[in-house]
Amino acid sequence: MTRGIALLIAGAVAAAFAPLPVQLAFAILGIGVVGMAHGAGDLAVVAPARRRMFLIVYALVSVTTLLWWTMDPAVALPAFLVASAVHFGIEDGAGDQPIERIARGVVLVAGPATFYAPAYAVLLRTAGGASSTLPSYTPFVAMAGGAAGAVLLALAWQRRDRHLAGGVAALLLMPPLIGFTLGFLILHALPQTTERRDRLGFADTTSYLRAVAPVFGGAILLAALVVALLLRFDTSGVRGLFAGIAALAVPHLLVTPWFEGNAIRRRPAAEARIGGYATARGSGPRP
């Protein structure tokens, strides 16, 4: 277990016993800051000739998502959860294991409801608004999350995969905001950051973060503005958190795969480029 993961777990355990505002703060830090690092490299995996159009479409989808959350959160919420489950399954599951793909997608979205159904329903009602019918389906969501978690824990036992077991355990056993944050980081965001870093040829995560810092900073600023805007509709900040994540995640889910193609995979790892910087495996960015 790395020191970073150990610190995350320690912070999650402390936050799990704290009031909702502290749990929300942990979720904002974990999802909205640490979890954004892998998405900050989206621009780098798009061929330079396509980046202008990529940015235009990315911004349009982000703004559309935000407007949708503002006008009809009751529909935007389930659509976002389904899209997220599909994304997690495609990105994180083994290509030759469709059951694992499905279980990973389901557990990341539904796992926190397994043992915390009432708290999960409250979060859905707050995020989706008074007209949302999704909270009434929480018992079915909890059963789906539990079943998916059992499948993944069995796979983790078979493979002796402590990483998978730890992520699933966090999703099932911790309060929803804390469990999702920790499970999301362990099972998706941190491995995807490492994959993105290696794919672009950086020797270490620090070099990768330095190269994507302008995009990373802009994403954090946008998320903060979304949260501030939606505080007028929900003073708890929960809807703002969901909307801020969605405004950045939906274009990451839908737009980036459409534009990236094989732009980076077809190029030598030593010649990936981010903005005005080139990267070489083992050296980090160079002018």
Element (H, E) at 63: helix 51-71
The residues with which 280 forms a beta bridge, in sequence order, are 284
Contact 151, 164 (CB under 8 A): no
- The pLDDT tens digits along the chain (287 residues) read 477 778 888 889 999 999 988 998 899 889 988 888 998 899 888 989 999 999 999 999 999 998 898 889 999 999 999 999 999 998 887 666 899 999 999 999 999 999 999 999 999 999 898 889 999 999 999 999 999 999 999 999 999 999 999 999 999 999 999 999 999 999 999 999 999 999 889 989 999 999 999 888 888 888 778 777 777 777 777 888 888 888 888 999 999 988 885 444 433 333 344 444 344 334 444 33
Query: Following DSSP, what letter does each residue of 95-148 receive, concatenated?
Result: TT-HHHHHHHHHHHHHGGGSS-HHHHHHHHHHHH-TT--GGGGHHHHHHHHHHH
Contact 249, 84 (CB under 8 A): yes
CA distance 155 to 161: 8
CA 230 to chain centre: 20
Question: String of b and e for 248-257 (b: at least 16 CB within 10 Å)?
Answer: bbbbbbebbe
Contact 11, 22 (CB under 8 A): no
Residue 180, SS3 per DSSP: helix
pLDDT at 277: 38
What backbone phi and psi angles, to 5 degrees, belong to 145?
Answer: -65, -40
